[in-house]
């Protein structure tokens, strides 16, 4: 997430520490409003310290994680419902892009008639692989991290790269396991896309 904070733009600020603090807050098990509120409070603290000739480490201390945890502890954590909605939002977005990828090969047929895209064994196997990796990473995140998988995904490129081999497996399964299981009318597939997008926006409003 890009910001125009004076702290980051200032050549006298410890930008590295600030970026670490921001990334750590983004993975906290609190909602987006509280994350942004805490981040802005810390920006004000560090700017005030700068004006008095102090560094970021003078204010935060040597362990920025401990400092952030002490601040985060003062706001209510995500409820079970919020965690569920955040996880569901990520799943809906994944399903949305998988359906788009599935529809791309038949879009050219719209010039002639409504296409009936087939759902193949590869599509189902690939989708099952994606669901499996998301569930596995969600469980690992629950026990070894502080926030939901979506928060961790949005704040870490390394976590995003974990999804790449599984997406490549999905592509391979879709390309080589071509036996048709059933077919879906194109308008029904588009309606599913619209529904997924509306649900995603609704969850966004519930969790932000």
Are the beta carbons of 160 and 95 closer than 8 angstroms?
A: no
Which stretches does DSSP call E strand in the chain? 118-120, 180-183
Confidence of residue 93 (pLDDT cuts 50, 70, 90): confident
Pairing label, strands 180-183, 118-120: antiparallel
**Which range marks the domain in which residue 24 is found?**
6-72
> Quick one: 42 and 109 in the same domain?
no
Task: For residue 16, give the CATH number of its domain.
Answer: 1.10.1900
Residue found by looking up tokens 């942004």 in the block: 36
Q: Is the pLDDT of residue 90 over 50?
A: yes
Confidence of residue 1 (pLDDT cuts 50, 70, 90): very low
> Quick one: 99 and 63 in the same domain?
no
> Quick one: 100 and 175 in the same domain?
yes
> Quick one: 108 and 162 in the same domain?
yes
> Quick one: 121 and 203 in the same domain?
yes
Residue 150 covered by a domain: yes
* pLDDT for 167: 74
Residue 1 covered by a domain: no
User: Tens digit of pLDDT for each residue in 36-71?
Assistant: 899 888 888 888 888 888 888 888 888 888 888 898
> Quick one: 118 and 192 in the same domain?
yes
> Quick one: 68 and 113 in the same domain?
no
Confidence of residue 9 (pLDDT cuts 50, 70, 90): very low
> Quick one: 66 and 87 in the same domain?
no
Pairwise pLDDT comparison (46 vs 148), residue with the higher score: 46
Residue 17 covered by a domain: yes
* pLDDT for 191: 93
**What does pTM read for this prediction?**
0.61
> Quick one: 150 and 65 in the same domain?
no
Q: What's the sign of the alpha-carbon dihedral 137, 89, 25, 164?
A: positive
Domain count, the chain: 2
> Quick one: 64 and 34 in the same domain?
yes
User: 48, 72, 96 — which closes off a domain?
Assistant: 72
What mean pLDDT is predicted for residues 148-157? 54
């Amino acid at each position: 997430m890009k910001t125009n904070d004076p702290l980051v733009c200032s050549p006298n600020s410890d930008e590295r520490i600030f970026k670490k603090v921001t990334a750590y807050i983004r993975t906290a098990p609190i909602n987006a409003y509280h994350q942004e509120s805490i981040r802005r409070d810390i920006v004000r603290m560090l700017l005030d310290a700068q004006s008095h000739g102090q560094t970021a480490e003078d204010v935060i201390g040597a362990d920025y994680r401990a400092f952030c945890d002490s601040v985060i502890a003062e706001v209510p954590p995500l409820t079970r419902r919020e965690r569920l909605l955040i996880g569901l939002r990520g799943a809906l977005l994944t399903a949305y892009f998988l359906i788009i990828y599935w529809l791309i090969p038949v879009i050219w047929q719209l010039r002639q008639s409504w296409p009936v895209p087939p759902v193949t064994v590869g599509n189902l196997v690939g989708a099952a692989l994606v669901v499996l990796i998301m569930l596995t990473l969600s469980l690992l995140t629950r026990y070894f991290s502080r926030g939901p998988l979506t928060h961790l995904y949005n704040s870490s490129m390394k976590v995003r790269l974990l999804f790449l081999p599984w997406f490549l497996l999905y592509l391979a399964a879709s390309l080589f396991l071509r036996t048709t299981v059933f077919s879906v009318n194109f308008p029904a597939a588009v309606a599913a896309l619209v529904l997924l997008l509306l649900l995603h926006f609704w969850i966004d409003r519930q969790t932000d």
